[in-house]
Amino acid sequence: MWTNSVDKALRERAEAVIPGGMYGHQSVRLLPDDYPQFFDRASGAYMWDTDGNRYIDYMCGYGPNLFGYGHESIDAAYINQLKKGDTMTGPAGLMVELAEQMTAMVTHADWAMFCKNGTDATTMAMMVARNFTRKNTIVLAKGAYHGAAPWCTPVRNGTAPSDRANQVFYTYNDVASLEEAVRKAGDDLAAIFASPIKHDTFVDQEDPTAEYARRARELCDEKEALLIVDDVRAGFRLARDSSWSRVGVQPDLSSWGKAIANGHPISALLGAEKARNAAATIYATGSFWFSAAPMAASLETLRLIRETDYLERTQSLGQRLRKGLDEAASHHGFVLRQTGPAEIPLIMFEDDPGYSKGYAWNDALMKRGVYFHPWHNMFICAAMTEEDIDQTIQIADDSFKVVRESGALPPVEKLAILGLLADGH
């Protein structure tokens, strides 16, 4: 029987000592009311909350969990290096090996810099582009997430208008709007930023069209600006190379994080030869950026990426899930909007302007042991099994029944603060 009294008590205590009770997208404030905020442990494809409830976790830590929580050989590499030395006065020699391996695996990359969070890597990418071009304007897709620094955070509180100076926006996959944004940047274009797929929250995901990706490349070449693909979330989940290798387009810079060490804290900026000097002459560092243990974990993760069928496996598990959920939904008279690559699924309901069906369904799934997200893309990890997927589909079926039997539900009020309910999303 699902219970949440321990979580509730922790949330009350958190209210007193953590601003807002929790921050960032790790706050469950915008999820169905009973979603657990705190977790106790995780193993393979599962995590347990502080009340002891087990979930098949389709959020994978918001991306890092690629091979399974607590993966034996990755964690052994981490612990082994931790015992030898982690955060020292300088990096361990294996930093060079990690850079060699990343640049060998990612076609466009000739050099690598390591940092801690995805935001570090996207911010450095912007700086390298500005240093390379000696220009300021960056062109970005509207609604795309590139991190939580003042220049890119989706919430403006605490930022100055000048933090956003020199930015022009386009619509993902819309070539005309990309061209218009580049025209607006005039002779000040430093970079075009692109997400590897459109993976914004609350809207359907989209694969990039080859036309859009190629045009972004051409425009950067014409203007001598740099093309940046932000592979922090999707990196190595869609390809064993940069994600735009799928559309045959090579960026100049790419940012990585999340899954590159299966959850151990490390991110990276990779770049092409022409941007090497620009990268060497920005000032970038952090107290924990050179820690050796996450680098050891990353080396083992990269080996598994090269040597296992994790990619084909997560793809086929994702397709099995997608098909099963569509079938279960139709039994109950629902139509799902399942968008994006099957291994990075986003699942919402057709005809659900107030998100009420989605919230009720996710709540029912969660209380039966499946952790889904109602409006953010999810992730398939290689530790999941066919049985996990089939069990998920069964639980989803039961949860559709709950939604069907609850009749008409009011719009999800907590989303009103985002202005999402007003414009009929």
Least distance from ligand PMP to the Cβ atom of residue 324, Å: 27
The two tokens of residue 272 are: 């092409």
The two tokens of residue 120 are: 């570090």
Which positions ≥6 away from 348 have C-beta within 8 Å? 204, 336, 337, 355, 358, 374, 375
Cα–Cα distance measured from residue 313 to residue 108, given in angstroms and rounded to the nearest whole number:
26
Cα–Cα distance measured from residue 356 to residue 282, given in angstroms and rounded to the nearest whole number:
48
- Name the β-bridge partners of 169: 140
- Smaller CB distance to ligand PMP: residue 195 or 339? 195
Classify residue 407 as exposed, middle or buried by CB count within 10 Å of its CB (0-12, 13-18, 19+): exposed
Least distance from ligand PMP to the Cβ atom of residue 149, Å: 8
Residue nearest to ligand PMP (CB): 118
- Smaller CB distance to ligand PMP: residue 122 or 245? 122
- Smaller CB distance to ligand PMP: residue 377 or 392? 377
Q: Which of 42, 91, 73, 85 lies closest to 298 in space, CA to CA? A: 73
Q: Is 420 left (phi over 0), alpha (psi -120 to 50) or beta?
A: alpha
Least distance from ligand PMP to the Cβ atom of residue 257, Å: 5
Q: Which of 122, 104, 118 lies closest to 305 in space, CA to CA? A: 104
3-class DSSP assignment, residue 2: coil
Least distance from ligand PMP to the Cβ atom of residue 252, Å: 17
- Smaller CB distance to ligand PMP: residue 20 or 24? 24
Cα–Cα distance measured from residue 79 to residue 82, given in angstroms and rounded to the nearest whole number:
5
Least distance from ligand PMP to the Cβ atom of residue 117, Å: 3
The two tokens of residue 412 are: 């999800």
Given a contact cutoff of 8 angstroms between Cβ atoms, the answer to whether 236 and 259 are in contact is: yes
Least distance from ligand PMP to the Cβ atom of residue 217, Å: 19
Least distance from ligand PMP to the Cβ atom of residue 205, Å: 12
Least distance from ligand PMP to the Cβ atom of residue 326, Å: 26
Q: Which residues bind ligand PMP (CB under 6 A)?
A: 62, 117-119, 122, 145-148, 195, 230, 232-233, 257
- Smaller CB distance to ligand PMP: residue 56 or 269? 269
17: amino acid identity, one letter: V
Classify residue 285 as exposed, middle or buried by CB count within 10 Å of its CB (0-12, 13-18, 19+): exposed
- Smaller CB distance to ligand PMP: residue 46 or 145? 145
- Smaller CB distance to ligand PMP: residue 163 or 397? 163
- Residue keyed to tokens 């084909």: 312
- Smaller CB distance to ligand PMP: residue 156 or 331? 156
- Smaller CB distance to ligand PMP: residue 42 or 121? 121
Least distance from ligand PMP to the Cβ atom of residue 100, Å: 24
Q: Which helix (H) or strand (E) holds 54?
A: strand 54-57
Backbone angles phi, psi at 313, to 5 degrees: -65, -50
- Smaller CB distance to ligand PMP: residue 256 or 334? 256
Least distance from ligand PMP to the Cβ atom of residue 255, Å: 7
